[in-house]
Structure 1
Amino acid sequence: MVSEDAVGKSSESAVSTIVNFADEAKLTNGGVKAPSHALLSICKSLVAGGVAGGVSRTAVAPLERLKILLQVQNPHSIKYNGTIQGLNYIWKTEGLKGMFKGNGTNCARIVPNSAVKFFSYEQASKYASALFFLFPSLVFYGFIRQQPGNEEAQLTPLLRLGAGACAGIIAMSATYPMDMVRGRLTVQTEKSPHQYRGILHALSTVFREEGPRALYKGWLPSVIGVIPYVGLNFAVYESLKDWLIKSKPFGLAEDSELSVATRLACGAAAGTVGQTVAYPLDVIRRRMQMVGWKDAASVVTGDRKSKIPLEYTGMIDAFRKTVRHEGFGALYKGLVPNSVKVVPSIAIAFVTYEIVKDILGVEMRISDG
Structure 2
Amino acid sequence: MDLNVDVLDVSRSREFFASHASVQKEGTKYMTLADFCQAVTPSAEAKEVQKDGCNVLFRVADRQGRGMLTVDDFIHFEAMLSRPDAEFEIAFRLFDEDADGIITLDQFKHIISSSQTASEAVPFDFNSDWLTLFVGKNGKKDISYEEFAQLVKGFQAERLKQEFKYFDPKGTGTINPDAFKKIMLHVAKHKLNPFVVENLPSIVQLYPGDNISFANVRACYNVIRQMDMVERIARKAATRTQDHALSKADFQAAAAQMMRFNVLTPMEVDILFHLASRDFDSQTSRLPIGAFERLFDPSWSKAKGISYDSPTLTATTADVTELTNQVVSLSAAMEALKGIYNFTLGAIAGAVGATVVYPIDLVKTRMQNQRSKIVGQLLYKNSWDCFKKVVKNEGVLGLYSGLLPQLVGVAPEKAIKLTVNDFVRSRIKDRKTGYIPVWGEILAGCAAGGSQVLFTNPLEIVKIRLQVQGEAAKTALNSAPKHTAIHIVRQLGLLGLYRGVGACLLRDIPFSGIYFPTYAHLKKNLFNEGKDGKKLNALELLTAGAIAGMPAAYLVTPADVIKTRLQVAARKGETTYTGINDAFVKILREEGPRAFFKGGLARVLRSSPQFGVTLACYEFLHRVLPVDFGETPSFTPIAQPNVGMVAPDVGRRNALRVLNDLSPDLVGMVKR
Coarse TM-score class (shorter-chain normalised): 0.7 to 0.9
2:555 & 2:440 partners in 1: Cα distance? 19
Deviations for 1:306-352, whole angstroms, at most 9, x for unmatched residues? 3x42132x211111100110011111111112221222111111101
- Give the aligned residue type for 2:498: Y
Under a length normalisation based on structure 2, what TM-score does the superposition of the two structures give?
A: 0.42
Cα deviation for residue 157 of structure 1 reads: 2.6
Q: Partners in 1 of 2:332 and 2:623 — Cα distance?
A: 22
Matched residue of 1:167: which SS? helix
Q: CA deviation at 1:83?
A: 2.3
1:287 is aligned to 2:565: yes
Equivalent position amino acid for 2:506 in 1:
I
1:93 is matched with which residue: 390, 393, 399? 393
1:260 to 538, 541, 566: 538
Task: Indicate conservation of the 8 Å contact 2:541/2:616, yes or no.
Answer: yes
C-alpha spacing 1:245/1:272, structure 2 compared with 1 (3 Å): closer
Correspondent of 2:467 among 168, 183, 186: 186
Q: List per-residue Cα deviations over 1:172-192 (Å, max 9, x = no partner).
A: 123421221111111113446
Q: Deviations over 1:187-221 (max 9, x none)?
A: 113446574222x32211111xxxx4322111112
1:220 counterpart residue number: 502
**1:309 partnered with 2:587:** no
CA RMSD of superposed structures (Å): 2.7
Say if 1:260 and 1:351, in contact at 8 Å, map to a contact too.
Answer: yes
DSSP 3-state at the match of 2:454: helix
User: Does the 8 Å contact 2:347/2:415 carry over to 1?
Assistant: yes
TM-score, normalised by the number of residues in structure 1: 0.75
User: Which residue pairs with 1:333 in the alignment?
Assistant: 598
1:343 is aligned, of 605, 608, 626, to: 608
Cα separation, 2, equivalents of 1:323 and 1:157 = 34
CA distance change for structure 1 residues 93 and 247 in 2, over 3 Å: closer, same or farther? closer
Q: 1:351 to 1:288 in 2, by over 3 A?
A: same
Question: What amino acid maps onto 2:538 in structure 1?
Answer: V
Amino acid at match of 2:351: G
2: distance between equivalents of 1:201 and 1:245? Answer: 47
Contact 1:112 1:175 in 2 (8 A): no
In structure 2, relative to structure 1, the CA distance for the partners of 1:245 and 1:87 (3 Å cut) is closer
Q: 1:73 to 1:247 in 2, by over 3 A?
A: closer
Q: Provide the C-alpha distance between the structure 1 equivalents of 2:390 and 2:348, rounded to a whole number of angstroms.
A: 27
Once residues 177 and 274 of structure 1 are traced to their aligned partners in structure 2, the CA distance between those partners, rounded to angstroms, is: 22
| Distance in 1 of aligned mates of 2:628 and 2:423 | 13
Whose RCO is larger (CA < 8 A, sep 6+)? 1
C-alpha distance in 1, partners of 2:608/2:527? 22
Matched letter for residue 539 of structure 2: A
Corresponding residue SS for 2:484? coil
The answer to whether the 8 A contact 1:45-1:362 is kept is: no
2:407 partner letter: C
Q: Which amino acid aligns with 2:483?
A: Y
Which of 483, 487, 492 matches 1:196? 483
The alignment status of 1:105 with 2:405, answered yes or no, reads: yes
Q: After superposition, where does 1:1-369 map in structure 2 within 5 Å?
A: 23-26=326-329, 33-75=330-372, 76=374, 77-129=377-429, 151-189=432-470, 190=473, 191=478, 193=480, 195-198=482-485, 200-207=486-493, 212-244=494-526, 246=528, 255-290=533-568, 293=569, 296=570, 298=571, 304=572, 306=573, 308-312=574-578, 314-362=579-627
Structure 1 residues 222, 194: closer, same or farther in 2, change over 3 A?
farther
Aligned residues: 302
**Partner Cα distance (1:158, 1:277) in 2:** 19
When residues 63 and 264 of structure 1 are mapped into structure 2, their CA distance, relative to the original with a 3 A threshold, is same
